[in-house]
Structure 1
Amino acid sequence: MAQRHFEGKEHAESYLKFRVSPPQELIDEVLNFLRSRTRDYLDLAVDVGCGSGQGTELLAPHFLTVVGTDISPAQIKVASGKEHAPNVSYRESPAEELPFEDDVADLVTSMAAAHWFDHPRFLKEADRILKPGGCLALLSYTMDFELEYKESTSKLNEICEEFYAALLPFRKAYLGSSSLEVYKKIYDSVTYDDKEWHKCLRCPTVMPLSGFIGFVETFTSYQGFLEKDPVEAKRLSQTITNRLLEAMGASSTDTEVTVIVKYFYVLASKPQMS
């Protein structure tokens, strides 16, 4: 059964502001996998569960047409309302009922969203719209981000571990103890013989400390805490921010830190027609 989250206007706007885009290194991995299996001109890419479109836009230079889909009207409104490449558009749609004809997509991807889908139905739908030789690419990351800042890296990560542990009780039971395990099960369910499972790609990204805190606050575990006890959730966030600043010897949340995001991903190619 599909899970529905991130659908409110305020959450969609914070998603746009704080969620990180997949690194170019990872997009290149997807494109290299695809191009090694098809000689055709790359026509259509479909980004399922696109949210506010950070990852969708990265596909624009490589395909004639890119369409981001999401079940949330608020997310689609935010994605459509921001400046985007002329060959990119957004459509409201559940992942299990994609608004495309059979055998039309060169790439079907989902970036940090496939864990919420009804996996059997989504995989069947992705197979339906993919061209023979087309690529399915499911990307996500673990929540145990690491921080690096001068000589205080070790202390920062101790504090972050406490932050993540405090949010763990509010994690959606649907996800179990690890979203990585959810994706491993999706990988096992993919029926294509040509498929790859990549467990960890460590990618650094620089952002202000406020951006890191905002990023964590977009996650369903924090949102669950916020819904249950908004005062305590905000107090936790502020306490963690203050402790991180103290450990950094900094006074402003505009101070930039390096955030290590640990990506994992599934790549699979639909068989060519014999």
Structure 2
Amino acid sequence: MLAPSSKYFNRDDVVKIYQQHRPQYNKDVSDKIMEFVRKHHNSEEPYDLAVDVGCGSGQATSLFASHFREVIGIDCSHRQIEEAKLGNKFLNISFLVGDAEALPFKDKSIDLIFTAAAAHWFNLPKFLNEASRILKPDGCMGLFSYCFPKVGRSLKDAESQKIDDAIMWNHVWKHISPNPPTEPMLKYANIFKNIKAKHKERNDEVKIKYTWTLEQIVGLIKSYSWYGAYLDMKMKSVERNSPNAIDGLSQAFKQSMGVEHLQDSDVHLEIEWEIFIVLATGLNHTGQNE
């Protein structure tokens, strides 16, 4: 991850929030990527080496532990890497500090490069140059992410969802929506277009869904770099002493549900993300800046 995001994600308070409140990807994500790898790779599992670039605190790294002899997570935030090491339970997974644009691996040595909610922070031409350099001739790349989640008391109930969408818009999205990275909003459409490869494809079929508490949902919002940008702008404005945008989120949900007496940790909502995955093999990026 690059500045300015790395500055936000390197803060001690944000590192803890990130680890606790970012969603865990389900097996469907790794299944889609490994299906692509098996189709295009010349050898059989377990493959030698996979690299999780922009790994953060390791939310997605472990998904691939059973498919590779070694998985390495790399991130430019030393605090995120410290947190990833603390939470690591796999002998074949390790973590190191490094940049997506200068990956510390030998030419043609990697079977799979993957990134989870990170590629939009990279200098894309330089990252793709590096991916082309270090991937084996039959090596593969999988870039996946998500955008705004859908939140509601029952995502299948259209009437209540209208109310819940309005609450999220008024207390969250309209305040931070001027600041989100463009590519997640476009589901990596531009990234996909700019990849030069023998074969590339995308998959938008995977969803991850949980039942979370209001406390968890507020923590998730605070983990976004978008929220950090909102706070920075607010501190420079005439409204710097006013309440933060999300301060009224919990109360608005509880009033709407008639449960004002409950703590945030006792109020449960459904939350769902649509995952988009960009897949490629036979990368052909050789220029330094393109």
**TM, length-normalised to structure 1:** 0.89
2:99 match: 94
CA distance in structure 2 between the partners assigned to 1:137 and 1:52 by the alignment: 18
Shift of 1:70: 0.2
CA distance in structure 2 between the partners assigned to 1:252 and 1:91 by the alignment: 39
2:226 pairs with one of 212, 217, 221: 221
1:204 and 2:194 correspond: no
After superposition, the C-alpha distances for 1:243-273 in whole angstroms (9 at most, x for unaligned) are 01222333232222211102112001127xx
1:139 match: 144
Shift of 1:216: 1.4
Quick check: 2:146–2:187 contact (8 Å CA) kept in 1? no
List runs of 5+ in structure 1 lacking aligned partners.
none
2:21 match: 18
CA distance in structure 2 between the partners assigned to 1:149 and 1:21 by the alignment: 20
CA distance in structure 2 between the partners assigned to 1:44 and 1:32 by the alignment: 16
Larger radius of gyration: 2
Helix, strand or coil at the partner of 1:154: helix
Compared CA separation, residues 235 and 134, structure 1 to 2 (3 A): same
Partner AA of 1:259 in structure 2 = I
Helix, strand or coil at the partner of 1:124: helix
Q: CA RMSD in A?
A: 2.3
Greater displacement, 16-25 / 1-10: 1-10
Aligned residues between the structures: 267
Helix, strand or coil at the partner of 2:263: coil
Counting only pairs closer than 5 Å after superposition, residues 76-225 of structure 1 correspond to structure 2 as 76-143=81-148, 145-150=149-154, 152-162=160-170, 163-169=172-178, 171=179, 175-176=181-182, 179-181=184-186, 183-199=188-204, 201-225=206-230
Quick check: 1:11–1:218 contact (8 Å CA) kept in 2? yes
After superposition, the C-alpha distances for 1:92-133 in whole angstroms (9 at most, x for unaligned) are 000011111111111100100110000000011011111122
Quick check: 2:175–2:230 contact (8 Å CA) kept in 1? no
Quick check: 1:80–1:90 contact (8 Å CA) kept in 2? yes
Quick check: 2:205–2:276 contact (8 Å CA) kept in 1? yes
Q: Percent identity?
A: 30
After superposition, the C-alpha distances for 1:164-195 in whole angstroms (9 at most, x for unaligned) are 012123x15xx34x524372111111111310
Quick check: 1:180–1:264 contact (8 Å CA) kept in 2? no
Partner AA of 1:70 in structure 2 = D
CA distance in structure 2 between the partners assigned to 1:236 and 1:92 by the alignment: 34
CA distance in structure 2 between the partners assigned to 1:89 and 1:133 by the alignment: 24
Compared CA separation, residues 99 and 186, structure 1 to 2 (3 A): same
CA distance in structure 2 between the partners assigned to 1:156 and 1:220 by the alignment: 23
Quick check: 1:245–1:252 contact (8 Å CA) kept in 2? no
1:241 match: 250
